[in-house]
Amino acid sequence: MIAAKLVEIMHSDRRPRTYVALTGGTAERIASAARCLASDIDVILLPPWDCLPYDRVAPSKQAMGRRMDALRVWLQPSTKPRLLITSLGAVLQPTPPFSVVRESEVTLEVGQPFDRDAFREFALRTGYLEEALADDPGELVFREDVVDIFPAGSPVPMRIVLDGDDRIEELRFYDAETQRTTETVEQMTFGPASELILGSFSDAADSRLVSVEEQFLQAYGTMPTLVDVVNGSLLSLQEEWESKLDELVGTIQDATEARAQSKSGTRRKPSPFYFQREQFLREIAMCDQFAIDYADARPRGPIEGRNRLNALVTFVDQQKKAGQSVVLAGRGRSMENLVRAVAQTSDVTPVDDWKECATAPLGSVLKLNCRLDRGFAVGDIHVVTTTDVFGEDIEEVDTSTFLKEPQIQLGDVVVHEDHGVGILKALETVQVDGTGQDAARLEYRDGASILVPMSEFGKLWRYGSSPETVSLDRLHTEAWAKRRAAIDKDIGKAARHLRRLAKARRETTAEVFAPPQKAYAEFVRRFPYSETAHQSSAIREVLQDLSSGMPMNRLVCGDVGFGKTEIALRAAAAVAFCGAQVVVIAPTTVLARQHFLTFQRRFANTDVKVEMLSRVLKRKAAAKVKTGLASGDVGIVIATQAILAKDIRFAHLGLLVIDEEHKFGARDKQAMRSLSPSLHVLAMSATPIPRTLQSVMIGIQDVSILATSPSKRRPVRTTLGPYDGASMRVALLREFRRGGQSFVVVPQIEDIDGVHKILKDIVPELSVWIAHGKMKAAEMDEIMVGFGDGDGDVLLSTNIIQSGLDVPRASTIFVWRADRFGIAQLHQLRGRVGRGRIQGLAMLLADDDIAQETRARLSTIEAHDRLGAGFALSIQDLDMRGAGDVTGDDQAGHVKLLGISLYQKLLERAVLDGGKGMSREQQDVALNLGITQTIPEDYVSDGTVRLNLYTRLLRASDQKAIEELEDEFEDRFGELPDEVSLLIRLAKLRLAAAACRIRKIDAGPHGLAISFASQPTRKEWEALTKFCRSEQRDERLVFTVAMNVGPQRLSFLEKVLARTAPT
């Protein structure tokens, strides 16, 4: 509504304006809506920093880059009317001098010369960092003909492709995850990755200064005021700005005093940086202001009704009869559903912007492709958004990269298939036939080392643990070969067991559940939101499993709030409506209670009776539930492990739903599955345990990934550092001042008393509640429910809160001694905050002297702070900690001997091969053609990137994978040099040779010999021998033909194998 009124004002009066919202999140939503409503207006968003005042955690490069970009655009002249959207927090902090802002930009255009040295100097001076990959804002990569940069103020990175004369040939945007091009442009302007620009001040900022604010003051001295930022535009502030100003000023004062009293660092009061209240009020009074007239504007609530689409159609018809216009606003599938429903009774006219909406004839029904926060009415126009009808909108996330194998880095522990466990120390260049070729230096026990040629990089696998905790193998001994042979044998046994399980599952018949269409459709209509694409896919897969006649064994993986519960509800409905019973098992009574309320509400108008069974239930009530289960009166039971008691009997059990499956041990899950011999099982998790994840990765268990987030939810900003009382006080008080709540989580009950004393010392004005697992169930339930209802300011607890506690007002969490938690636990804890519109903040507290391996693990969750990161974190955790033996309880097993990557690949091969154990000759084809195999350093400069490209190329399992990698080479690094083209051809030849069961090919000036792993058929011999003069020698085929250079031999072999390749 605010955006529509601002656009309306800008269209009637083109003078520039500045609008100050209460919060940064509100400013973002208004700016996004205004851009969508009016493409003829320059809408500029000036965000605040994403850190606390005077914090030791500096603002992110992205936050500073976006601010500098906004200021740069705002200060430039424009032919369009301009609207600056900002927030109180953003304008309470000064900006760099405008001269610094204007000078800190670069414009690139296709066809112009590119000065590498000048560009590098600009990037490093303005805060960019050179890395191997540019996949985060503020990163930069220089290559021979390609430069990648992730502009700090941009949502996507950019690739600069140069021609042979160092002119810009192409400007491309690319995907940060896949590194592949998504779009090309003709011109791009971007700014710095910092607001502290080197060279813009005479003296470097004092490194002893603990906050970026103090570095600013020393670097720039006098900085622009609010009047300067407003820059002569008309100013307006959102209603109730005075109370928000008091809250922000209070937070700044708290931070100033806390930093002065801090027991760590320099105990002194920081110099004033932010505008004081009186100063800010004076600045406002000096600006010309404009008012927004809301007399004809009003917000509107959601469309209500049992069937919301029918209710929408009725609403539209009523407005048309009253001479009012209706605008349907939204995007994607939800918008299509809206328009399809309304179009049954009304003509729907597409429009491009708000001006067309305002000038359309009254009584029109209009379609505006614009994602708005909520509906509203202005004059005779009613705006209905997809959110009003379906609830929170969604954003789709690509899941294709979730199962990518972690990359090998220098310093990693690796496993060489022939030599065992060592450390990748370095990449070295060795001379082969006068040409430099990459080789990997591996270090083994007692400092012994070997050089592994590039052709063997496919035999290198990431082990996954820290060098300090691994026992390295000895070189040139039989120990590794013997161990590997024994493991191969055991893996063959494990694979046969898994295949038997899979076969038994295929041969086991399970009850077919196909729910009555009318009852199921009515149940689905009660879902108040629009399904995401991933939800729809998962529901379809679950229903197919239930109707297949085989027992379902499916994992649904999705973050908190991504819709897993709705999948469980649909599955439960499908089974319960067929007359069978459903068990939903949760790890805690709190989560079980939450599910019970949800299921009870959704099944309220059906014949299905929903009950709960947990330790909270009194004996008499529990006995009644058990009786109902035995008689069949209870259709769905929500339970904890209490459901596994020996006295539980079911009349007709059909489905088991396991929520947060990573919380249950193997014995628990075995007991669950033994409830019925042909039970359908649906597991749900945000971060699957390694064993489950590995079962998914080798195809033993089916998986559905939900990777869509509510659009109103923002990723939780995660930081890692030591305890700092001043920062903790500021964060807790800021949460309190804005009416929110906070969590402080400790690893053990014994830690609670000490941390409670610290909290009473640093925030005596806040009420601290305590919860832990040794409390009585009723007391625990009372505390959890009370805190969830808004009582108390801080909940100090063990990690018992990680399951099922929904506190929408909580946006801040501190995790004490984070190094004592697992990745899955930390991710679940982080999911407790930031569930509303306010930016969540998770602070992982750990000492500076923790082990390097532990720091790397904690840094993983710090880096994966996007929504939907749970599955990616599980992949990382699987890699770093190892999986269990998939067929047993041991969390180490063969993984400790082989490392997770090699173990997974060997098990996968063995499963596919029927557990026979594939011979090494079938896996590897040795090509000795006299060809130097290398990726030139001037083509891909970073050795680690080259190493991983080699391994991917050597492990490509089909021609399509090689062709995709060929496209990736050209996209990321430029035109393929001859050396890389040869590598691609060799990889394709190796695959063709493996298909013909060829073990080795040797070539020289006078001929070449092909050695087979097994005797070729008569037809194969005939095809080979007809091609050229040849003779058979045992299992070798020798061609007598003069070929002096490697490429000639390669071309010859390509022709030979093309004739003999299996069809």
CB atoms within 10 A of CB 74: 24
Question: What pLDDT score was predicted for residue 690?
Answer: 46
Residue pair 531/567 in contact (Cβ under 8 Å)? The answer is no
Domain 106-190: assigned CATH number: 3.30.2060.10
Q: Do domains 297-391 and 717-866 have the same CATH topology?
A: yes
Question: What pLDDT score was predicted for residue 291?
Answer: 93
- Residue 664 — φ and ψ, nearest 5°? -105, 145
Question: What pLDDT score was predicted for residue 881?
Answer: 45
Beta strands across the sheet bearing 1030-1033? 926-928, 998-1004, 1007-1012, 1036-1039, 1030-1033
- Please choose, from the candidates 31, 145, 341, 87, the residue with its C-alpha nearest in 3D space to the C-alpha of residue 977: 145
Question: What pLDDT score was predicted for residue 832?
Answer: 80
SS (H, E, C) 60-78: CHHHHHHHHHHHHHHHCCC
Annotate 569-636 with DSSP letters as a single string.
Answer: HHHHHHHHTTT-EEEEE-SSHHHHHHHHHHHHHHTTTSS--EEEESTTS-HHHHHHHHHHHHHT---E
Question: What pLDDT score was predicted for residue 913?
Answer: 64
In which residue ranges of the chain is pLDDT below 50? 201-209, 263-266, 394, 397, 399-403, 689-694, 697-698, 710-712, 866-893, 915-923
DSSP 698: T
Would you list the domain boundaries of the chain? 2-100+198-285, 106-190, 297-391, 517-710, 717-866
Q: Which CATH architecture has domain 2-100+198-285?
A: 3-Layer(aba) Sandwich (3.40)
Domain 517-710: assigned CATH number: 3.40.50.300
pTM to 2 decimals?
0.70
Question: What pLDDT score was predicted for residue 236?
Answer: 96
CATH class of the 717-866 domain in this structure: alpha beta
Q: Are strands 325-329 and 365-368 parallel, antiparallel or unpaired?
A: parallel
CB within 8 A of 988, min separation 6: which ones? Answer: 959, 962
Residue 21 amino acid letter: A
- Rounded-to-integer distance, Cα 37 and Cα 466, Å: 53
Question: What pLDDT score was predicted for residue 807?
Answer: 80
Residue pair 578/620 in contact (Cβ under 8 Å)? The answer is no
Question: What pLDDT score was predicted for residue 908?
Answer: 66
- Rounded-to-integer distance, Cα 814 and Cα 719, Å: 10
- Write out the H or E segment, with its range, that includes residue 7: helix 2-12
Task: Kindly report the length of the chain.
Answer: 1063
For domain 297-391, give its CATH number from 3.90.230.10, 3.40.50.11140, 1.10.579.10, 3.40.50.1980.
3.40.50.11140
Residue 98 amino acid letter: F
